[in-house]
Amino acid sequence: MELRDFRPQSKLVTKETAVPTPRFRVIDAHNHLAEPFGGGWDKRPSPELLDRLDEAHVDVYVDLDGGWGETILQKHLDYFKQPAPERFVLFGGVDWSQWPEKGNQFGEWAASRLREQAKWGAQGLKIWKPLGLHVRDENDALVAMDDERLMPIWETAASLNWPILVHVADPVAFFDPITPKNERWGELHNHPNWQFPSPPYPAFLTIINQFANVVRRHPQANFIGAHVGCYAENLAWVGQLLDECPNFFIDISARLGELGRQPYAARRFFLQYADRILFGTDAGPSLAHYQLYYRFLETDDEYFNYSPSDPPPQGRWHIYGLHLPDDVIQKIYAANARRLFNL
């Protein structure tokens, strides 16, 4: 039998709580709408999307697809934002492919594009993992996230009062050798291009510490560390940066598997940093995913799958609910995002 065919069924008899709707209304602060991550809603009637969000009790949906390019940003502003401006927040991005042509003027040029995107209606900046892993300058040198030439980008986002959502690096195991000890072996076997061995790539801690440097150097800018600060495996590290930097926030998107397998530490973390945590799924407007997140945050259910897929995609383990108090859930579901996004 191959590992992919191993589907053990637990014999535990435990409470299973259905949570079809959240206890309070929600702002989804990290998601997508187009392929490959959002489900292709840009090719479906927009009223269907609003009905789906209403069913999930999601009042505002943050679409990060504009980070892929200005053409996508303009399309989504027209298709989603214009018909229902109160329901969507769209983020812009940086076209790193222009660096070889722009050379030392790239930072100022990119900043000027952010100002233009703001005129169109963008309300935030999305930075994705190519920065630190793939982006190269005019001399074909890898660009670090804390490169001083990027300063105009961070300063301009701050002047626009834009939150800067950052996903750099990836799960820690993606930087480890693919051996029988790698806890994400199955995922990396299915997606070998997700592995970033060092060399030739920088080490995980090199990239994540570059991110922390940027947050510290730019206190006037609000940064959101995607996926639990880009380091869900180490809540102590994330907590230390939250302690140091009041301009640092995190979202919980795509990390139920990490948070739910350390429920005691995660619950303490959520209680301590309740004012700095944003809700998000990074799974498109999927009811199944929303309901898993609601179950995780609201119930004390034990040992359940963190994904609608069986086996779960990130690792073959199950999770435990955090059973958070109402005041904390209200902040995470919406209040923190309303404050940060000025909604």
- Cα–Cα distance measured from residue 249 to residue 228, given in angstroms and rounded to the nearest whole number: 9
Are 73 and 90 contacting, i.e. CB atoms less than 8 angstroms apart?
A: yes
- Cα–Cα distance measured from residue 166 to residue 229, given in angstroms and rounded to the nearest whole number: 8
* Helix, strand, coil percent content, the chain, rounded in steps of 5: 45, 10, 45
pLDDT of residue 290: 99
Are 175 and 202 contacting, i.e. CB atoms less than 8 angstroms apart?
A: no
Q: Is 254 strand, coil or helix?
A: coil
**Count of domains in the chain?**
1
Largest CA distance in the chain: 62
Instruction: Put the strands of the sheet holding 26-31 in their side by side order.
Output: 26-31, 58-63, 88-90
Percent pLDDT > 70 in the chain is 100
Strands 58-63 and 88-90: parallel
Whether 37 shows a pLDDT value over 80: the answer reads no
Total residue length of the chain = 343
Q: How many CA atoms lie within 13 A of 178 on its CB side?
A: 14
Task: Give the domain range for residue 251.
Answer: 3-341
Are 69 and 98 contacting, i.e. CB atoms less than 8 angstroms apart?
A: no
Q: Report, as an integer, the average pLDDT of 80-98.
A: 98
CA dihedral angle for residue 261, residue 176, residue 228, residue 321, rounded to 10 degrees = -10
Are 214 and 157 contacting, i.e. CB atoms less than 8 angstroms apart?
A: no
pLDDT of residue 114: 99
pLDDT of residue 38: 77
In this prediction, residue 339 has a pLDDT band, given cuts at 50, 70 and 90, of: very high
Domain at 85, CATH number: 3.20.20.140
**Residue tagged 């769209």 (tokens):** 90
- Cα–Cα distance measured from residue 29 to residue 282, given in angstroms and rounded to the nearest whole number: 9
End-to-end CA distance of the chain: 53
Which tops the pLDDT comparison, 8 or 15?
Answer: 15
In this prediction, residue 59 has a pLDDT band, given cuts at 50, 70 and 90, of: very high
pLDDT of residue 332: 99
- Cα–Cα distance measured from residue 121 to residue 115, given in angstroms and rounded to the nearest whole number: 10
pLDDT of residue 156: 99
pLDDT (tens digit, 9 = 90+) per residue, 291-332?
Answer: 999 999 999 999 999 999 988 989 889 999 999 999 999 999
Q: Burial of 171 by CB count in 10 Å (0-12 exposed, 13-18 middle, 19+ buried)?
A: buried
What does pTM read for this prediction? 0.97
- Cα–Cα distance measured from residue 270 to residue 322, given in angstroms and rounded to the nearest whole number: 9
- Tokens matching residue 121: 């209606």
- Tokens matching residue 177: 């050798």
pLDDT (tens digit, 9 = 90+) per residue, 143-152?
Answer: 999 999 999 9
pLDDT (tens digit, 9 = 90+) per residue, 247-302?
Answer: 999 999 999 999 999 999 999 999 999 999 999 999 999 999 999 999 999 999 99
Are 292 and 306 contacting, i.e. CB atoms less than 8 angstroms apart?
A: yes
